[in-house]
Amino acid sequence: METQAIKHYTALVLTSLLLLGLWLCASCQSTREVNDKPPTAGGQIALASAYPIPKLQATIEFLPPVNTFCIGGTVDVQFRIKNISASIVHFTSSSWRQSDLLEIRDATGGRLPVDGNWYSGDPSVRRYRLQPGEVCVLRAGSLGFAKDTESDMGGREYSFKHPVSHIARCKPGRHVARYKLLFPDVRVTYSRDHPEKIHQDRDLEGTVETAEEQFVILAELPSVEDGQ
């Protein structure tokens, strides 16, 4: 009888240790999955370059598809996004992206000043689900080209015909543009177009850098007075 009691007690101890080990493994896995995401502060995602998204590939497309512009002119911008991973990816994007970061460099590699415009309002946000190899297009705010001698946005000395989200101050010559896309680019919970919750836990969070796009800046556009 005493031997059976010892065996029973030993089995209970071993079972308890096994359950404890399984619980510790599950806790470590949960912690690792949480730490794989960018840190948050006040409910906002910390979109830093330290958290790139390797699953997406992005290229810049100018509309119309030309690469020569004049100072004082504008060009529409969109991004072609491709899922280069082996799994389905989910993310959200506004219908007119204006939060992305733009970098412009001249022929010498020097970085040029870029000003940003922000237009308030209720953005239309859409959910995307891309299969491996699938491509989608995201529309962005237009890009304007101003003199490199003009003041910053505080002066409001720009007079473009159409709204622009970024303003590059350039001299005539060859340049290179590169965007850092933010996902999500706006933080909304619900949308008028989609009453269900927009941002979900499975959605990608972080940044995607586009490939470089070369373009040429010509002389300033002639004014109305000059044409008379």
Residue range 95-101: mean pLDDT, rounded: 93
How far is residue 25's CA from residue 111's CA, in Å, rounded to a whole number?
Answer: 48
Examine residue 228 and state whether it is found in any structural domain, yes or no.
no
The answer, yes or no, to whether residue 199 has pLDDT greater than 80, is: no
Say if residue 178 is in the same domain as residue 120: yes
The answer, yes or no, to whether residue 96 has pLDDT greater than 50, is: yes
**Residue-number span of the structural domain to which 77 is assigned:** 46-221
Examine residue 227 and state whether it is found in any structural domain, yes or no.
no
How far is residue 88's CA from residue 99's CA, in Å, rounded to a whole number?
Answer: 25
Residue 69: pLDDT band (50, 70, 90) is very high
Residue range 68-92: mean pLDDT, rounded: 95
Say if residue 79 is in the same domain as residue 32: no
Residue with tokens 């794989």: 36
> CB neighbours (10 Å) of residue 35?
9
Quote the pTM value: 0.71
**DSSP bridge pairs for 116:** 166
How far is residue 129's CA from residue 223's CA, in Å, rounded to a whole number?
Answer: 46
- Count of domains for the chain: 2
Category of 26 on φ-ψ map: left (φ > 0), alpha (ψ -120 to 50) or beta? alpha
Say if residue 22 is in the same domain as residue 126: no
Model pLDDT, residue 49? 41
Tens-digit pLDDT profile for residues 127-162: 899 999 999 999 999 999 998 765 544 444 567 888
The answer, yes or no, to whether residue 88 has pLDDT greater than 70, is: yes
